[in-house]
Chain A
């Protein structure tokens, strides 16, 4: 059974840094691209970043490029999102989502439960 477990969210001050993680199980992690999608409170879904199965190809939304870094450790079956220079508008639930293939531009066929990041002083 495919499982994705998001963790690492919390309250952080503007300008601070935080890393969220997604622990994967139930599939061959290195064979599949992964994405991060966020949802601000009461709002819709926004794609944030994607990474290929090997980790050698990454993509970012303009709103986070230069501040966020996506990475993965295939030996630990874990996906990461390092978030720096956080702003109030980054407040959201962050979901990891598995792609059905090795290219990040795919629908998310399995999703984590989400982890809440709150940026506030």
Chain B
């Protein structure tokens, strides 16, 4: 099973700042099969990025993903108030599908 480790656990930032979230895999993620999700309290996760760097439909271009192999990042270029949430990475290249433990992005 591929273990995904996200860092940091919590980030406190202000609107307008740039942020980079990290997701590290215990072994190589095949075909860059890595996705990022945003989840707000009481809501279902929302797909942001798939294939490590492709934005899902309707996702603003301030969200970008990069990486390959075992190291992946999600960058939000300029934080908007609605971006404060929990972010999860997910690998779907190997069975079983696994998720990282999440990074909480909170308003400073």
Contacts and interface: CB of A to CB of B under 8 A. Distances in A.
Interface of A: 35, 37, 44-47, 50, 59, 61-62, 95, 100, 105-109, 111-114
Interface residues of B, number: 24
A107 B92 contact: yes
Interface of B: 33, 35, 37, 39, 44-47, 50, 56-57, 88, 90, 92-102
Nearest to A96: B44
Contacts of A47: 96-99
Determine chain B's interface SS by DSSP, over half rule. Answer: loop
Contacts of A46: 99
Contact of A45 (B57, B93, B94, B99): B99
Contact of A62 (B35, B44, B96): B96
Given A105-B92, A105-B93, A44 B44 contact: no
